[in-house]
Amino acid sequence: MAHAYTPGLKVTEKILVKKDRILPLKGDVLVKVGDKVTPDDVVARTHLPGNVVPLNVANKLSLPPEDLSEVMIKKEGDDIKAGEPIAFKKGFIKMFSSECNATIDGTLESISTITGQVLQRGMPIPVEVKAYITGIVTEVIENEGVVIDTYAAFVQGIFGIGGETSGEIVIATPDNKTILSDDFITDDMKGKVVVGGSLVTAKAMDKAGKVGVKGIVVGGFDDKDLRDILGYDIGVAITGNEDIETTLVVTEGFGEISMAHNTFDLLKANVGKKACINGATQIRAGVIRPEVVIPNEDISIEKGAGAKSEITGITIGSPIRVIRHPYFGRLGNVTGLPSPLHVLESESKARILEVEFEDGEKAIVPRANVEMIETN
Amino acid sequence: MAKFENSDDIKIIVATDCGSTTTKAILIEYTNGEYRLTTRGEAPTTVEAPFEDVTMGVLNAVAELEELSGRKLLDENGKFISPANGKDGTDVFISTSSAGGGLQMMVAGVVRSMTAESAERAALGAGAIVMDVIASNDKRLPHQQIERIRQLRPDMILLSGGIDGGTTTHVVEIAELIAAADPRPRLGSSYKLPVIYAGNKDAAKNVEDTLGDKVDLKVVDNLRPVLERENLLPAREEIHELFMEHVMAQAPGYKKLMDWSDAPIMPTPGAVGLIIQTIADQYGIEALGVDIGGATTDVFSVFRPGGKEAVFNRTVSANLGMSYSISNVFAEATLPKVMRWVPFKMDERDLRNRVKNKMIRPTTIPQSMEELIFEQAIAKEALRLAHIQHKSFATVLKGVQQQRTIADAFEQSSSGSSIVNMMTLDMLIGSGGVLSHAPRRQQSALMMIDAFSPEGITRLAVDSIFMMPQLGVLTEVQPKAATEVFEKDCLIHLGTCIAPVGEAKKAVRQ
């Protein structure tokens, strides 16, 4: 049977989710294999080397660089405190003596008799990695971090902003089509992950931030609102570090687009459960999509479970979503996969598929312009 | 693989280009007294998980060549049959690569517009993406520079600074900043970061003392030995050497690919630059090539300022592209500039959402005519902006004292003026999906004319299937085959643009 493979976004009731929680530099792992962890537990910790602040001591003391070692009070590797003298130049009389003080707390990294420069290294910066999801530690990578496994309902988004957070799921709109406006955001949503329909407005995002909503999951978002919220235009889709109160996960795309039924229904079925969400998106090699992970309350891991389902690709009958105009956002089922190239209205030649939309309308769409709705 | 003492004995060539998403293979055969492209095949690149072995994609693409050409290229162990024997095998196999992000470099120099810019030119010419340029006068404080060096995880650093015999202090200061940052290489932490020093030779010892223990330091000739002259070749060759030794060797499967290959694997843009230089040299012309991709747009040029020696330049506009970076093109060009190429009205809010949707789903294609026209309008702006960046980078050397005669007094050309002269340009070559695969060839021609505004008489061409990278590396092995295939199979001549330039006479009412 003819088939094509266009990867889609995963929406599934139960899947084994594995999360690598790795430090940026080697450090200490604080948990062991078999430990149960919750999103806010710190699993690994390290210290980044402090910032380096150069100080040209030779210039400050009006010395040639090669004479620097003669005036240094502190040596390489010594601890220093801001304001404390690190070099002293003796004058003929006391009045003409001069000294040079450290500008930060830390250690003296190096003394250069070529440039006259002294490098001061600031205090180490502590870095902690949290578990992010509720689960069980299944692997410890020595001095680097851990792997956490959990069974969870899982929704992959298409675009998001904001970092990792977690909260109880609440459904704000009556269905998957209704726009999530500020009227739907209430004070009792503080600390929650709020699910909306086809769009979230800028006003709703603003109110959510003020109320203390942890995250919003919604079908679409307007580019203009995105620019207004961030204060700048996103040029390339690499996000996750935005300084915003509420993490946003968009499941369908930009504009007003109803959230896919199965996504909305899955989230609705999990109301009251804790969702771990992340808006980080990277659409480049090594793609990262935003996600909603809803760990099962029973977090024991079955042995041998979680085998990957076979990727079958798009075949006749596969549920798909069109991802480009003129049918953008519409859902349907594949009815034909003709092999020959087809001339599109744009006069480009491309491989196409035939689709029947939910309302019975039929259309021809380039295969590059659809994605499979993956449910396994 | 077979080695040939006489390159004319090479009759069958297989060449691949391992891109970020697709590995493209071509088969060139010597038939009826000429080298011609006979077959092409492609397969998804397999450098990332779950495959993590680039050779799988190469073998798949070569298997497609076998299927289409009927020539058996691989033996039962999946190795190339070489040399060619009748209907089997190939005489040489060569490859380029930009998979896994290509070659990513940081460069540093003393003065931003002088040695740092020369270092940037050397890195770009070698096919690198320049992540940042650190200079003593780049207006950042030393701790900010150190922080930046630490954040970036380049594949290598090129450090230059000072002319031979000049002051050594400034370049050693930069070396100290690099040492303090203790930068880590992008791929793997099992080896030291390669740093090439191509600055004042008198400072080489001090730089070695400062950096020697922390990085893998290579010292080459100064790339700016005197203010009036650049000497980029030693630095470029060292970059290629280290690219093979460190970057490629770390990428999954590349060791095997390097073993198979009869010539060093070259970064894709480096190879494109090579073929453009070869063609410009061979025909004695001035040429400008552009490759517009999904994330970046590369511009290559060979000009002969003042009719003298040919000067090659390459620029990469990192965030001007047709899918991953389309939103950035739209933001930089602004809506009115894009819409001037669209002959109908479109709603702004809807347009902005469409652009963002292309960004998040980069592999989609325009189905309707309206979408095609809009996408080509954005392409024109991406090309225009990339051309502006190229013009401002491809300049005569800055900081050089110029001797002026009284005749020059009225022509206020300054040091650092652009050498890109559209009036003397002979050939404009376009490449990349939006240009190579436009449904009508005149659309490609129009995109290039509107974006580059050629002046005088300029031949326009597009690369039919983006095989310039493979032909670039082929120039190192069999230059005749490279130029023959380039002329006969690679280029599609679109026509000649004639654009008179001058002051128009005022109309006179009769």
pLDDT tens profile B329-381: 999 999 999 999 999 998 999 999 999 999 988 888 999 999 999 999 999 99
Q: Are residues B408 and B494 in the same domain?
A: yes
The pLDDT value recorded for residue A269 is: 96
Q: What is the CATH number of the domain that holds B174?
A: 3.40.50.360
State pLDDT tens for residues B91-133.
999 999 887 667 889 999 999 989 999 999 999 988 888 889 9
State pLDDT tens for residues B267-316.
888 899 999 999 999 889 999 999 998 888 999 999 998 888 899 999 88
The pLDDT value recorded for residue B405 is: 56
Q: Are residues A245 and A168 in the same domain?
A: yes
The pLDDT value recorded for residue A7 is: 57
Q: Quick check: B499 pLDDT over 50?
A: yes
Q: Are residues B88 and B110 in the same domain?
A: no
Q: Quick check: B27 pLDDT over 70?
A: yes
User: B401, exposed or middle or buried, with CB in 10 Å at 0-12, 13-18, 19+?
Assistant: exposed
The pLDDT value recorded for residue A3 is: 41
Concatenated DSSP letters of B110-154: SSTTTHHHHHHHHHHHTTEEEEEEEETTSS--HHHHHHHHHH---
Q: Are residues B302 and B411 in the same domain?
A: yes
**What mean pLDDT is predicted for residues B150-167?**
89
Give a yes or no: residue B74 inside a domain. yes
> Are the C-beta atoms of residues A330 and A322 closer than 8 Å to each other?
yes
Lowest mean pLDDT among A49-53, A140-144, B257-261: A49-53
Across chain B, mean pLDDT equals 88
> Are the C-beta atoms of residues B155 and B185 closer than 8 Å to each other?
yes
Contacts of B364 in chain A (CB under 8 A): 323-324, 366, 368-369
Q: How many CB pairs under 8 A join A and B?
A: 159
The pLDDT value recorded for residue B1 is: 44
Question: Last residue of some domain: A122, A140, A163?
Answer: A122
Q: What is the CATH number of the domain that holds A221?
A: 3.50.30.10
Q: What is the CATH number of the domain that holds B16?
A: 3.30.420
Chain-centroid distance, C-alpha B479: 19
Q: Do B357 and A119 touch (CB under 8 A)?
A: no
Q: Do B361 and A253 touch (CB under 8 A)?
A: yes
Give a yes or no: residue A38 inside a domain. no
Domain housing A118:
52-122
Q: Are residues B191 and B292 in the same domain?
A: no
Q: Do B325 and A224 touch (CB under 8 A)?
A: no
Q: Are residues B112 and B218 in the same domain?
A: yes
Two tokens, residue A215: 């995250």
Among candidates B226, B237, B221, which has minimal Cα distance to B270? B237
Instruction: Mark which residues 9-28 of B lie under 8 Å from A by CB.
Output: 20-21
Give the minimum alpha-carbon distance from B354 to chain A in angstroms, rounded to a whole number: 7
Domain housing B237:
102-259
Lowest mean pLDDT among A14-18, B4-8, B69-73: B4-8
Q: Which residues pair with A148 in a beta bridge?
A: A19, A137
Burial annotation A200-237 (CB, 10 A radius, 16+ → b, else e): bbbebbbbbeebebbbbbbbbbbbebbeebeeebbbbb
Q: Quick check: B189 pLDDT over 50?
A: yes
For A117, the closest of B173, B182, B437 (CB atoms) is B173
Give a yes or no: residue A129 inside a domain. no
DSSP code, position A94:
G
Question: Last residue of some domain: B33, B67, B99?
Answer: B99
Give a yes or no: residue A248 inside a domain. yes
- With vertex at residue B170, the alpha carbon angle to CA B166 and CA B174, rounded to the nearest 5 degrees, is 135
Q: Which phi and psi angles does B176 have, rounded to 5°?
A: -65, -40
Q: Do A54 and B177 touch (CB under 8 A)?
A: yes
Two tokens, residue B297: 């747009």
Please state the domain count of chain B.
3
Q: Are residues A161 and A108 in the same domain?
A: no
Give a yes or no: residue A23 inside a domain. no
Mutate to test the interface with B, among A23, A226, A283 (most CBs of B within 10 A): A283
Contacts of A368 in chain B (CB under 8 A): 363-365
State pLDDT tens for residues B168-180.
888 999 999 999 8
Q: Are residues B244 and B306 in the same domain?
A: no
Give a yes or no: residue B431 inside a domain. yes
Q: How far apart are the first and last CA of chain B?
A: 78
Give the minimum alpha-carbon distance from A272 to chain B in angstroms, rounded to a whole number: 31
Peptide bond into A326 cis (omega under 30): yes
Q: Are residues A212 and A283 in the same domain?
A: yes
The residue among B87 and B376 whose pLDDT is bigger is B376
**What mean pLDDT is predicted for residues B210-223?**
93
Instruction: Mark which residues 237-256 of A lie under 8 Å from B by CB.
Output: 237, 253-255
Give a yes or no: residue B286 inside a domain. yes
- Taking the C-alpha atoms of residue A236 and residue A229, their distance in angstroms, rounded to an integer, is 17
The residue among A341 and B5 whose pLDDT is bigger is A341
Helical (H) or strand (E) element with B462: strand B456-463
Give the minimum alpha-carbon distance from A344 to chain B in angstroms, rounded to a whole number: 6
The residue among B508 and A137 whose pLDDT is bigger is A137
Q: Are residues B92 and B129 in the same domain?
A: no
Report strand pairing: B103-109 vs B128-135.
parallel
Please state the domain count of chain A.
3
Q: Do B367 and A347 touch (CB under 8 A)?
A: no
Give a yes or no: residue A341 inside a domain. yes
Give a yes or no: residue B316 inside a domain. yes
Instruction: Kindly state the percentage of chain B with pLDDT values over 90.
Output: 56
- Taking the C-alpha atoms of residue B287 and residue B303, their distance in angstroms, rounded to an integer, is 7
Q: Do B173 and A115 touch (CB under 8 A)?
A: yes
Contacts of B328 in chain A (CB under 8 A): 235-236
Contacts of B46 in chain A (CB under 8 A): none
Q: Are residues A250 and A359 in the same domain?
A: no
Q: Are residues B297 and B378 in the same domain?
A: yes
Contacts of A350 in chain B (CB under 8 A): 365
Give a yes or no: residue A213 inside a domain. yes
Q: What is the CATH number of the domain that holds A333?
A: 2.30.30
Task: Provide the H-helix boundaries in B189-231.
Answer: 204-211
Q: Are residues B128 and B273 in the same domain?
A: no
Concatenated DSSP letters of B476-487: TT-HHHHHHHII
- Taking the C-alpha atoms of residue A12 and residue A198, their distance in angstroms, rounded to an integer, is 20
Q: Are residues A158 and A244 in the same domain?
A: yes
Q: Are residues A185 and A264 in the same domain?
A: yes
Give a yes or no: residue B251 inside a domain. yes
Q: Are residues B441 and B474 in the same domain?
A: yes
**What mean pLDDT is predicted for residues B483-497?**
94
**What mean pLDDT is predicted for residues B216-226?**
94
Q: Do A324 and B365 touch (CB under 8 A)?
A: yes
> Are the C-beta atoms of residues B471 and B485 closer than 8 Å to each other?
yes
Q: Are residues B253 and B303 in the same domain?
A: no
The residue among B261 and B101 whose pLDDT is bigger is B261
For A369, the closest of B101, B324, B365 (CB atoms) is B365
The pLDDT value recorded for residue A311 is: 46
Q: Are residues B74 and B117 in the same domain?
A: no
Question: Last residue of some domain: B225, B259, B293?
Answer: B259
Give a yes or no: residue A355 inside a domain. yes
Q: Are residues A115 and A229 in the same domain?
A: no
Q: Do B142 and A324 touch (CB under 8 A)?
A: no
